Amino acid sequence: MVLRREPTARQMRLAVELRRLRDAAGLSAREAAALIGANRVQISHIESGLTGVSEQRLRRLASHYACMDGEFVDALVILATDRTRGWWEEYRGLLPTSFLDLSELEYHCTYRWDVDFLHVPGLLQTEGYARALFSCRVPELPEDELELRVRHRMQRRVILEQPEPVRYEVLVHEAALRIRVGGRAASQAQLARILELSEADHVTVRVIPFELDDFADITAAMVYVGGPVSKLDTVVRDGPHGALFIDSEAQLGVFRTLFRRVEAASLDPTRSRDLIHRLTKRL
């Protein structure tokens, strides 16, 4: 079997979860392999995301690992057997892999949360805002790559515009709304776009106002992507060397708590829209 050169984030997530189940069962890779008529190297490749695993073998492994969570196993089977090649594949080899991995996660997600303090979240961005942001990169991006990134970001909005759109909740700081990106006209268009989207039933926008006290310790910008079951949720954060995908159950719990704290401190949707209206008029 040909090994994958670069497993996707979803393929790696399946690999990681199978390794976690085996570790919890206290079995070595050699012992697990013997249970399904494979060898240790095959198990190693599966748990590294370098090869896939059939539904039959996955269910046998889950049974031997004494995993009693049927819903979770069914979700792993979907990860193992899904062969979707989405719109993001046209960018493979042209954009960083993390761009494609995020698009794939979004495509399959059940809901999406964003928290941001300095920028308007990507799914809400206008083309002008996105282009201005990418133009500020150091080192400067070549023109063709800049345009690819803008086009990719605009295509990501499909999850909000499809017939059955994803539930999307955004917590954005007032600072991000006040910072002019791309000039006055571009900033006004961006605020207008946020107001337009906030009227949709599946989109909730809340503003974190400047006036809050004791907020300095809850400044974790993040993208939270809901999976088919909570164990398969993912948090995506920007790191010094690119996007960081977080999937441990303990860390996911921390980020869920952080999100709810920020949500509780934010303005409600109506007051948030009122604030954005006022900011638009002041630009």
Supply the pLDDT for residue 1: 63
Structure confidence by residue, pLDDT tens digits, 235-283: 999 866 678 999 999 999 999 999 999 999 999 999 999 999 999 998 8
Q: Convert the pLDDT of each residue in 116-157 to its tens digit.
A: 999 999 999 999 999 999 999 888 999 999 999 999 999 999
Question: Which residues, listed in sequence order, are joined to residue 115 by a DSSP beta bridge?
Answer: 171, 222
Q: In a 3-state reduction of DSSP, which class is residue 154?
A: helix
Are the CB atoms for 134 and 141 separated by under 8 Å? yes
* Beta bridge pairs of residue 168: 112, 203
- How far is the C-alpha of 113 from the C-alpha of 224, rounded, in Å? 5
Give the homologous superfamily in CATH for domain 9-81.
lambda repressor-like DNA-binding domains (1.10.260.40)
Cα 53 from Cα 29, distance rounded (Å): 15
Distance CA 59, CA 74 (A): 9
Furthest-apart CA pair in the chain: how many Å? 69
**DSSP string of 77-107, one letter each residue:** HHHHH-----GGGGGBTTB-HHHHHHHHHHH
E-only strand ranges, the chain: 111-116, 167-173, 203-208, 222-226, 234-239, 242-246
CATH architecture designation of domain 98-282: 2-Layer Sandwich (3.30)
Per the CB < 8 A criterion, the answer to whether 21 and 65 are in contact is: yes
Residue type, 71: E
pLDDT of 69 above 90: yes
User: Mean of the per-residue pLDDT values for the chain?
Assistant: 94
State the DSSP H helix or E strand holding residue 269, giving kind and residue range, or none if neither.
helix 269-282
Residue 20 exposed, middle or buried by CB count within 10 Å (0-12, 13-18, 19+): middle
Pairwise CA distance, residues 91 & 114, whole Å: 24
Picking from 110, 112, 33, the residue whose alpha carbon sits closest to that of residue 78 is 110
**Predicted confidence (pLDDT) at residue 217 exceeds the cutoff of 90:** no
The arithmetic mean of pLDDT across residues 192-197, rounded, is 98
Dist CA 83 CA 165 (whole Å): 21
Question: Which stretch of 24-33, 119-128, 209-218 has the lowest confidence by average pLDDT?
Answer: 209-218
The predicted model scores a pTM of 0.93
Structural contact between residues 169 and 113, judged by C-beta atoms closer than 8 angstroms: yes
CA atoms lying within 13 Å on the CB side of residue 137: 13
Q: How many CB atoms lie within 10 A of CB 182?
A: 19
209: burial class by Cβ within 10 Å (0-12, 13-18, 19+)?
middle
Domain positions in the chain are 9-81, 98-282
Report the percentage of the chain scoring pLDDT > 90: 88
